[in-house]
Structure 1
Amino acid sequence: MKPSIYLASSAFALALSAAPAMAQDAASTDADTTASSGDEIVVVGTAGAGMRRQDAAFAVTSLDADAIAEAAPASTADVLKLVPGVAVESSGGQNGANIFVRGYPSGGDAAFVTFQSSGVPIFPPPTLSFLENSQLIRIDNTVARVEAVRGGTGSLFSNGQPGLTVNLVQREGGQYFEGMLEGSITDYGQYRADGYVSGPIDENTTFMAGGFYRQGTGVRDPQFDAEKGGQFTVNLRHDFSNDSSMLLYARYLNDRGQWLLPIPVTQNGDEISEFAGFDAHTGTLASNDVRYTTLNNGDDVDLARGRGAKVFNVGANFDVGVTDSLRLRDRMSYMGGTTFTVGLVPSGPPTTLQAYADNLYLAGVSGATAAPGATFTYVDDGSTVAGTQQVMQAGIWTVDKRIDSFVNDFAAEFEMGPNKLTAGVYYADYYARDNWNLGNGMVLSAENNARRIDINYADGTVGTRDGFMQGSTYFLNAAYDGQDIALYATDELQITDQLRIDGGVRWQRHTVDGYVRQPVSVDLDGNANTLYDNNESTFGPTQTPISYRDDAWSFTGGANFEIMPGIGIFARYSQGKSFPQFDNLREGVTDIATVKTVEGGLKVSGPMIRFYATGFHNDFDGLSSVQLVGTTPTVASGGAEATGVEVDGSVGPFYGFSLGFAGTYLDATYQDFFTGNGTIDNTGNRVQRQPKWQWRVTPSYELEVGGFRPTVYATVQYYGDRFSDPENQQLLPSFYQLDAGVSVDVMERLNLRVTGTNLTNEIGLTEGNPRIIGSQGSGTILARPILGRSFTFSAAYKF
């Protein structure tokens, strides 16, 4: 880490009695963003001062605490289902979501999504393999609101994200002591406790502290507590007499959850049904029998580690009023800790045990033309297994990362009459150390809570050891150190009371240094008759250096015109850049992605209606991603184009009733885009995993009954058909999801809530088999459905 060159700017801000503000934090306290007023303040996508959403010449969504609570998001990424233009796959559990934006091609994770806390990226690279930003922060009662900007000005500020930038705005204290305690439990036995307290320290200083803790099995019960952990956040705000302020905050996250992966289901065209013996709604291969294992290299693995993070984040925001026309702002953040992924990764659909054993022998014994007889036994109790038993292969994958980052964003804002000029400098220094061990395939019974099976052949050949039929097939040891420095400038000009224009440029320099230790394959015990360890991947003697340096320009220009109070239109053109990150560079991919966007929209905001509609067209060039096919990194690269329309808003025709809505139409296709390391041309194919149509409608009705105020609400969501792969061979059929809930306020202090998700028990697929290229065929396939029906009961007391 080399943050010293930017500590000077922070010290300067402090010397001027600076403070954290960025109006985003000043406005983050009590929900001051009323849905009907149109006065909701957003900071994301601005130079730091914030502005009314109605005045923004870009597509932005703001979600307050009530909207988040009613959505009952299962994870941090899940809340983005409320944002049009975004396709979210959160069926993988609390961590490791796949998030796609406006047709940006990606093989998974969240390559074009940046999460911020108080206006600062939590970790500057938006995605590394087995790590995307939403894994590093949780949404709890310490979050006042969530802001999300698509395209637009995102490529100018922060880390220059041209896709989606999401800002989690912290709750802050006010001049009255207050707080909340909340407890919840699910119908599958998981419990959670939330709470916060806030208030004044003196007339100019306030505080907030809070967090959550949870524990349970999750909907897909692995027979042990796979969901466990919590988060704690504290902040302190001080307002100075010279129109300046300071926000200091700290957050600790220690949380993990089961990494949910594809399971066997049956597909006939667009009809999906359960595979016999495997519950599509609650089933998982994980079990007590599979939980504790010892890999061929001697490593002991506990599957309960799942996917999660143990990180500490501290930050400071300063806002300094130097003169009536000059303000200085500085935002800094340090984050450090570890992230981890331990999962049971299936490699193919079920088959009979006898057929599997025959294929294992033929593939492992050189020159063999037929397999001898074999005996099959369960590992846990030694009992015999019939050759007709349905089995599947799944591997223990472990990925450990040590990460840290320092980010500083300093800006000076000069305002003279109708003109506001902002110039800033962004600096980030970040590090990652990776240790991967992939493969480690086991033979498992194809059923809920699978059991390990051993195979031994009549000729003395040993097929498995404690269920393992192979060891590591991809062993990675690597480290990377990245630095970004960017200079940006924007100018906003209020030409008339109705017309406002803006423009800006950004120059960014991106450097990465690191190394990859190349693996080698060995016969671990030197015995060819033990098939399970004959091709073990391990450390090799060769270390390959990585060195990358390049720079690029981004720019944007837009205009906002207020036709009349509460009705406006906007238009914008932008060109953003996305630099190659660690995983691309490891595979020799050095392309800088260019995204050109034309967008425009209508904004209507009044006491009974809010309506926002945005049309856009994106051209992508130089896009590259690395996908694991089996356990082999495979490069996909090229271009794409996307045209779409996003709408969201709400109507409240009479007291107590509101109808929220959001929808997206997206026509996104590949252009000169190749997969399979350049061997497969996907030109004209639909961009993978992003539907043409998706929408959600949320009616809500509140009434008063004596001292009670019940609210009934529901959400109907539609996800159009998609393809899981770029070759458009793995169809993911369209599906609906129905969620609903009842919330009751008792005497203004106590809130009781019941929320049900996927009430119709839909088997909606969000992922096929990402470990293969092309079709899985029909019949039994591997795919990842949404979670089955569940209910959450909660009680919250405000004081």
Structure 2
Amino acid sequence: MLSRTNACLLIGAAAGALLAGTPALAQVAADATQTADAAQRAEPEQGLVDTSQPDGEDIIVVGTAGGGTRRQDAAFAVTALSNDAIERAAPNSTADILRAVPGVMAESSGGQNGANIFVRGYPSGGDAQFVTFQYAGTPIFVPPTLSFLENSQLIRLDETVQRIEAVRGGTGSLFSNGQPGLTVNVVPRIGGSELHGLAKLSYTDFDEVRGDAWISGPLGDDTGFMVGGYYAQGNGLRDPGFRAEKGGQITANIHHDFAGKGSVEVYARYLNDRGAWLLPIPIVTNGNGDISAYPGFDAGTGTLMGRDTRITTNVVGRTIDLADGRGANIINTGITFEYEVADGLRLRERTSYLGGDANTIGLVPVEGPVSAAAMAVTLGGAGSTVGALTYATGGGAVSGGASAAVLRAGIWEVRKKISSFVSDSAFEWTAGSNKLTGGVFYTNYTSRDSWVLGNQVLLAAEPNARRLNLTLNGGRTATLNGFTSGPAFQVQANYQGEDYAFYGVDELQITPELRIDGGVRWQRHLVDATLSTPLAGGNVNLDANPLTLYDNAVTVLGPVRSIRYRDDAWSWTGGVNYDFSRSIGVFARYSRGNSFPQFDNLREASADNIANGTGLAATAEVDTYEGGVKISTGIANLYATVFHNKFDGLATTSLINNVPVSSNGGAKATGVELEGALRPTKWFSITAAGTYLDATYRDFFTGNGAIDNTGNRVQRQPKWMWRVTPAIDVDVGRFRPSLFATLQYTGDRFSDPENLQVLPHFYQLDAGVSVEVAQRVRLQVTGNNLTDEIGLTEGNPRIIGGQGTGAILARPILGRSFRFSAAVEF
């Protein structure tokens, strides 16, 4: 555990760096008048890292109509991360890199997939409801979140990524799919005038092996190509005893410039990767909120999954393999086109298609460890006692009998076949000091769902848990091959969504220093579906034997029904930017954004809600007021933003005891976001980011309207978050070592809207060293969570209320680990 004194010293260092006026994540040099395609994604001609310019010079695409703007000139809050910054952050997953973005709380403790991402106090129960990922400026999959699917599951970070841009609030509600929360644009490398490439091999101390490679170069005077990707496999840090992580991604593009008139780029990306879905494990808490590891269970590496639970056949005869995990097998293709058809008039088109599977298979715990005697009462009712407790595999008696610690977990199966088509067409007309942009956005997306949840098994409360069989007094059998129940919640559904929008933005440069802009967007949202969910009161006893408790209440699907939903809404924004100089500026902005209900909300909404646009079928509205200061110089830059938002109309459902339970209402939040860096010498830099957030619920009800949470803090989002990263780059003879470290603080949070499940604050320390041992040959080692901190990111989301003290369920961050890599560039 990091001492309080050292933590305070590091906080002081971070604050000092920010107040001094913070440095640049060095990026590609580009003039602000260049188009984003040419300037933003040009490859450095020499070396492994380009450190030529402050990031205020970067051309930002996200949050604009497509032409891009210099980051220093952007009248909205945006973060840019170079490939080098991504590598030094050593993210465990795609979502993990968002820890570097102020105002964002990213939880990647669920593994490569299954992230929870929260933005600026927007109320949400999990997943990433207000986060959209783009690739090359186009949404990957238009719904930001469906149950068991959020955008970061559909893309991996690898060496083909040139940079990441992330805009919060601001103009995001006008462009692309109209995301009012966070829009993240993953910008790929493209080919230049010279042949370049990289090969990299990585190995971890938990036996994961990964290979990355890319190559780019010219196909002609104005045409370049890039192709690359990765492949990895291993058991994972939380080792279940089988190959839980496996897969890769390949990306290719061809880019052509039209002699200064514009450009066209065609790309294709194939992802076939899956990993273990990591869920809460047993943890011990006392009355003061202190936490510790459950006896025999390592909080950083332990998992309930094991060889005995990997392949099982449930009570209805369906066989499931937990090695299928959570992931995606998809292809994503697209084209981006920009051309100046006449003086001052440019046309832009972005089109993409995505299709494939995104499945989730996991072992989902139900409650914290209890004695077998208590479990007998839970399964058999009052007066039930343990007759026999044996292992389902092998049949031996469990030591301790009725006093043995046990728990239940469901084997959940969610299969999704998805598709998405996106077309974003726009024109930009510039006349003197005025620039007018107008566009049309269209998307059609589908999801074919097959869910089978429940299927609970009785397990020993141990790592790599074994299945148990339990018999009760009175000749009753509580389990079958460890299963205590059959399917409890099922869905068979075919969904189709369609959105079209018209948007317009006018930007006026009143004086060389003063610029104002304003814009509107009208969007129409349509959903049609046919589906079947559990029949109310339709549970059956499969064998008609009341003494076999495991199959006495199996759900039955009801009749097929249909959904037809239609709604539309206006979004708008207005902003002003004033530059005191090329390096110092301020901005202010107001925006109204909307978030339409997606498939899962409409599945659980009543016919009246759908007809009237209320309850779970309501369209959420977000009003955001924000202002900021931007300082960007050769040795330092600082971006400071103050914001206030009001959120109305959240509608979501959670599965409590395998039954959908609704949450409805609003929230308000006020916050401050700081980020920047300081480079006082050529060999030393320090980057930092921090967020203060005061977010509370307003007229917010959970438990199907039974619990009023007004005034409670918005769940899973701390009041304080910060991170600071010092780095040293020196020349030692013919070697060029770089040393870097990141200390991150995450404040106290509540796992639930009722504010009864406390998640204590924690620190996480990561560090690494990289050495260029020969020209273009680099060795690197990075360490994550070096202090092996037990930092909780989730309690038990499948219950309402507190978990008490003693043994509970919670999901900690991953424990200490190391990654070693060797890279050769040419």
TM-score (norm 2): 0.92
The verdict on how the C-alpha distance between 1:292 and 1:357 changes in structure 2, with shifts beyond 3 A counting, is same
- Partner residue, 2:573: 556
Distance 2:795 2:368 in 1: 11
- Structure 1 regions of 5+ residues with no counterpart? 1-20, 363-368
Structure-2 change in CA distance of 1:167 and 1:22 (3 Å)? farther
Q: Distance in 2 between matches of 1:787 and 1:340?
A: 23
CA contact (8 A) 2:299 2:812 kept: yes
Alignment of 1:86-125 (within 5 A): 86-125=104-143
**8 Å Cα contact 1:35/1:610 also seen in 2:** no
1:135 to 153, 160, 166: 153
Question: Matched residues in 1 for 2:812 and 2:157: separation?
Answer: 23
Q: Deviations over 1:707-758 (max 9, x none)?
A: 1110111000000000000000000000000000001112331111000010
How far does the alpha carbon of each residue in 1:27-58 deviate from its partner, in whole angstroms, 9 at most, with x for none? 21326785525211110000100011000000
Measure how far apart 1:779 and its partner are: 1.6
For residue 525 of structure 2, what is the aligned residue in structure 1?
510
SS for the counterpart of 1:585 is: helix
Query: Which amino acid counterpart does residue 376 of structure 1 have in structure 2?
Result: L
Matched, 1:602 2:629: yes
Which residue is 2:716 aligned to? 689
> Hey, what's the Cα distance between the residues in 1 that align with 2:579 and 2:696?
34
Aligned with 2:597: secondary structure?
Answer: coil
Cα distance in 2 for residues equivalent to 1:797 and 1:35? 24
2:295 to 273, 276, 296: 276
| 1:215 to 2:245 alignment | no
Q: Does 1:460 align with 2:513?
A: no
1:347 aligns to what?
A: 366
Q: 2:202 aligns with which of 176, 181, 184?
A: 184
Does residue 40 (structure 1) correspond to residue 53 (structure 2)? The answer is no
Choose which of 561, 565, 583 in structure 2 pairs with 1:544.
Answer: 561
Contact conserved, 2:40 with 2:58, CA < 8 A, in 1? no
What residue in structure 1 maps to residue 272 of structure 2? 254
Partner of 1:334: 353
Matched, 1:411 2:395: no
CA contact 1:492–1:503 (8 Å) conserved in 2: yes
For 2:597 and 2:369, how far apart are their aligned partners in 1? 38
1:294 aligns with 2:313: yes
Match of 1:382 in 2: 395
Q: Secondary structure at the match of 1:698?
A: strand
Instruction: Specify whether residues 146 and 33 from structure 1 end up closer, same or farther in structure 2 by C-alpha distance, changes over 3 A only.
Output: farther
2:99 aligns with one of 81, 84, 91: 81
Q: CA RMSD in A?
A: 1.3
The 1-side partners of 2:377 and 2:352 are apart by: 56
C-alpha contact (below 8 Å) 1:33/1:41 kept by paired residues: no
**Alignment partner, residue 642 of structure 2:** 615
TM-superposed CA distance for 1:25, in Å, is 6.3
The answer to whether the aligner puts 1:786 opposite 2:816 as a matched pair is no
1:52 matched to 2:79: no
Bigger CA drift: 124-133 or 240-249? 240-249
Further displaced range: 490-499 or 146-155? 490-499
Q: What is the match of residue 667 of structure 1?
A: 694
Distance 1:133 1:525 in 2: 42
SS in 1 for 2:550: helix
Tell me the equivalent position of 1:580: 597
User: Tell me, what secondary structure is at the counterpart of 2:499?
Assistant: strand
What is the alpha-carbon distance in structure 2 between the residues aligned to residue 761 and residue 619 of structure 1?
A: 38
Corresponding residue SS for 1:565: coil
Query: What is the CA–CA distance in structure 2 between the aligned matches of 1:340 and 1:429, rounded to whole Å?
Result: 21
CA distance in 2, matches of 1:103, 1:611: 23
Q: How far 1:242 sits from its partner (Å)?
A: 6.7
CA distance in 1, matches of 2:478, 2:654: 30
Displacement after TM superposition at 1:244 (Å): 2.7
User: Structure 1 residues 747-756 or 723-732, which shifts more?
Assistant: 747-756
Question: Offset of 1:373 from its aligned partner?
Answer: 4.8
Distance 2:629 2:673 in 1: 11
Deviation of 1:111 (Å) = 0.3
* 8 A contact 1:350–1:392 mirrored in 2: yes
CA distance in 2: counterparts of 1:469 and 1:196, whole angstroms = 50
| Cα pair 1:25 1:170 within 8 Å, conserved | no
- SS of the residue corresponding to residue 586 of structure 1 reads helix
The answer to whether the 8 Å contact 2:369/2:405 transfers is yes
Q: Give the Å deviation of 1:24.
A: 4.2
**1:176–1:242 Cα change, 3 Å:** closer
Aligned counterpart, 1:501: 516
Distance in 1 between the 2:413 and 2:772 partners? 45
1:9-35 superposed Cα distances (whole Å, 9 cap, x missing partner):
xxxxxxxxxxxx972465213267855
Partner of 1:267: 285
1:760 alignment counterpart: 787
Q: Any idea what the Cα deviations from partners look like across 1:462-490, whole Å, max 9, x if unmatched? A: 21011001011101111210000000000
Note if 1:777 corresponds to 2:804.
Answer: yes
Helix, strand or coil for the counterpart of 2:57?
A: coil
Distance 2:53 2:164 in 1: 14
Distance 1:298 1:722 in 2: 42
Conserved 8 A contact 1:22-1:43: no
SS in 2 for 1:783: strand
- Name structure 2 gaps, 5 residues minimum: 1-33, 45-49, 606-615
Give the counterpart letter for 2:691 in structure 1: T
How far apart, CA to CA, are the structure 2 residues paired with 1:420 and 1:33? 32
2:665 and 2:758 map into 1 onto residues whose CA distance is 22
Question: Which amino acid in 2 is paired with 1:480?
Answer: Y
Partner Cα separation in structure 1 for residue 51 and residue 514 of structure 2? 24
**Partner residue in 1 for 2:771:** 744
The aligned residue for residue 198 of structure 1 is 216
Instruction: Give the match's secondary structure for 1:538.
Output: coil
Aligned residue-pair number:
772
Letter in 2 for 1:103: G
CA contact (8 A) 1:118 1:169 kept: yes
AA aligned opposite 1:543? V
Q: Structure 1 length normalisation: TM-score? A: 0.95
Match of 2:737 in 1: 710
Q: Would you say 1:225 and 2:240 are equivalent positions?
A: no
Residues 330-358 of structure 1: CA distance to partner in whole angstroms, max 9, x if unpaired? 00000000111111101101011232124
Change (3 A) 1:25 1:618: farther
- 1:698 paired residue among 725, 729, 748: 725
* Equivalence map 1:461-540=2 (5 Å): 461-520=476-535, 521-540=539-558
Q: Does 1:312 align with 2:339?
A: no
What SS does the corresponding residue of 1:670 show, helix, strand or coil?
Answer: strand
In 1, are the aligned partners of 2:55 and 2:71 still within 8 Å (CA)? no
Q: CA deviation at 1:457?
A: 3.3
Rounded to whole Å, the distance in 2 between the matches of 1:299 and 1:409 is: 43
1:296-355: CA deviations, max 9, x gaps? 222110001111010010000111110121000000000000111111101101011232
What is the CA distance between 1:633 and its match in structure 2?
Answer: 1.2
Out of 237, 243, 246, the residue aligned to residue 261 of structure 2 is 243
1:723–1:731 CA contact under 8 A, matched in 2:
yes
Structure 1 stretch 387-396 or stretch 48-57: which is displaced more? 387-396
Q: Secondary structure at the match of 1:174?
A: coil
| Partner SS state of residue 134, structure 1 | helix
